[in-house]
Structure 1
């Protein structure tokens, strides 16, 4: 069976930077380590005055098409995943296609276009749609373009404000991919939840504690479901495990939960038994509450062991390097975690061809998906082509007053004029509004 997966990806980060330790914490009168150690974040990315989810997505897609030598005729579908859309009818994919048609002689009139919404998991769902479209033989030899683009804003003063971020990830899904092959096996954990939602509003309503509980519960269910079709997992099976990363502190909890699950009834649990005992089994307890308390105690002990610390440092920690600098990108977060892991492998000069990733995606409301990816021979060339580190270094560092202006600029309920902090160069920009209040875009040389 021909491999199907991600052939290439490109990343576009918002051009503005808010330093959480030096700027945000200082303004709030708080200890910087609340953000740098507690949340695990150093900075957030924001879109400049001329940027939004369309420009970021279109710029990432344009860079991807140019690098791969593609034209619109090569693309059979454009799927955009976002939870930051500004129109309840017209999909963001049509805007992005319109932008790209400004720089190509051909058009996308024969490409299927859509928009996916399921909070942060929609990017992975769009990959699934593209995979299934190719597997079904409906692509006519063409590729799929998947764009995950979001501006993750919270109301000012909200506890989630420090986790904000903005950026886009464009991914090319093809047969015989150069980057990663997607597994046929998937696992899901899904339930009707109200942990995080936006009922006809831009800024989310969040039950922070509940959201973390739901995230972990759905991830556990998805892993169990994945194992039901793919077989038991083991900590040594995967080179890296990229998780959806609303902030790195949450991934620390997910990593510990996943490790505990994977070592159950293995030689690893046996090796740790003399040090911390064996994992509690529910049948050993008279009630669920006592069992859960015992599990919490075991996990507290587990996270202090050398085995777990070494595994986490090698398999999970490398996935967080980009997120620490840009914040939460909603639909793009798990995909920048993948990129960070492969960048780390390249920097360490590791040959990970043929190794596997276990990708944990999540969207509030709520659903998690677990699938595996096999790293392909062309991964190193694809990763070396990314310039996300350069983009991060070159961001304009905004003051807190400028941050407030930028936040207002991108508040859908406000109409704020703001001069750009950066000069656009070879990119799409927001140009204004048309007669029907539609957003318009130009390409700036």
Structure 2
């Protein structure tokens, strides 16, 4: 039985900042951002969007009534959770009107947790092939104004329906994974922003890739020639390229050229959204599926997932017949094209807006936010969500 991605959707806030202009404001050469880390634009979330609303909006565009009835597992991967106790999945489950007889949980392991969610969802569908699972990856990457990590911020969500006989991609059963306790990136519960050892984290990202790729080859006998493309977790778009280059000498120049060309295609959306942590790999996959030309059914795509702290995994998917009819290129291109550019002053103002932490009540103006699902305010420490379609 084939199990894999039946539907995939994406959402990012309606605001962004231009990385060239941010570089000028920070007194650095623009090429450091646009070429050095490979980012062109960075999504900026208004106060009316958080990890819950981003995920709900991403899923809203792909679910129909049949999905809502068949989904009995909702897994939310994030490191931008809004509550230490209640899972973000429960909020989204309600906002989308999903079948009440469902399990809803939140998972955490830096940027890796969505991959773990996908694997758990596969196991669930193997036992219950008549059901579907909704996997959500949603994050807001924040490091602070005028910090070293500012240029690698971002916001967005990817929603994925896992089912038997999937329309888009079968996820193969073989995968290679590796865990090691390191401190390359972390955020203690008392901190609103993360701590990162940038050089060490880059080194470990590459080391983990080589570890799991080597393990995957041993398990499967696969070579680079078997893959049309390899999609990477992208904290910034240059990161995956650094890892890919470490293994290119394993194959011919023709295959190297194909993998490099397809890598660039896979970074299209990420380059204009920024870092979305748990969703970054799957946004890269979506970018490749919607932007690459002449992809054929049976094509194999490699996937490298990495979450600091750290866990890495390499696995693969196979494209299904007529998969291109089940992605939404026009809708996602329109989503990005219709965003509003913020000046640096406006971006800084939005960035510094925060919700109350003392139990006081606040009402937010959701009319300024074009999203269907928004955060409308906080009352008695309870976030108030609105689905404008209801």
Following superposition of structure 1 onto structure 2, how do residues 67-146 of structure 1 map, counting pairs within 5 Å?
69-101=65-97, 108-135=99-126, 137=127, 139=128, 141-146=130-135
Structure 2 residue aligned with 1:178, among 167, 171, 175? Answer: 167
Indicate yes or no: 2:54 matched with 1:65: no
* Aligned match for 2:265, one of 318, 342, 362: 318
What residue is the counterpart of 2:343 in the other structure?
Answer: 399
Of residues 166, 169, 174, the one that matches 2:158 is 169
Q: Which residue of 2 aligns with 1:211?
A: 201
**1:355 matched to 2:309:** no
More strand by share: 2
The 8 Å contact of residues 405 and 418 in structure 1, kept in 2 or not, is answered as no
Question: Which region of structure 1 is more displaced relative to structure 2, 350-359 or 379-388?
Answer: 379-388
TM-score, reference length from structure 1:
0.82
Q: In structure 1, what is the Cα distance between the partners aligned to 2:62 and 2:69? A: 15
Match status 1:3 vs 2:18: no
Residues in 2 aligned to 1:413 and 1:213: alpha-carbon distance in whole angstroms:
37
What SS does structure 2 have at the residue aligned with 1:65? Answer: coil
CA 1:324–1:411 in structure 2 vs 1: closer, same or farther (change >3 Å)?
A: farther
> Which of 258, 263, 285 is the matching residue for 1:338?
285
C-alpha distance in structure 2 between counterparts of 1:410 and 1:16, whole Å: 17
Deviation string 1:336-390 (CA, Å, 9 cap, x unpaired) is 1111111122xx3x04211100001110001110001000113111124662211
CA-to-aligned-CA distance 1:164-212 (integer Å, 9 cap, x gap):
1100100000000011000100001221010000011221100000000
Question: What stretches of structure 2 of length at least 5 have no aligned partner?
Answer: none
Bigger Cα displacement from structure 2, 27-36 vs 381-390: 381-390
SS of the aligned residue for 2:161 comes to: strand
1:249 offset after TM fit, Å? 1.4
Q: Secondary structure at the match of 1:70?
A: helix
Q: Among 178, 186, 189, which residue is 1:197 paired with? A: 186
Judged with a 3 Å threshold, the aligned counterparts in structure 2 of structure 1 residues 405 and 52 are, in CA distance, closer, same or farther, namely same
Distance in 1, matches of 2:336 and 2:105, equals 30
Q: Quick one: which of 244, 263, 286 aligns to 1:255?
A: 244
How many angstroms does 1:404 deviate by? 1.4
**Cα offset, 1:51, TM superposition:** 1.1
Partner residue, 1:271: none
Q: Deviations over 1:43-84 (max 9, x none)?
A: 101222311111111111121113xx4353211100000000
User: Do the aligned partners of residues 149 and 412 (structure 1) sit closer, same or farther apart at CA in structure 2, a change above 3 Å counting?
Assistant: farther
User: CA separation of 1:312/1:355 partners in 2, compared to 1, >3 Å: closer, same or farther?
Assistant: closer
1:433 and 2:355 equivalent?
Answer: no
1:426 to partner: Cα distance: 6.4
RMSD of equivalent CA atoms: 2.2
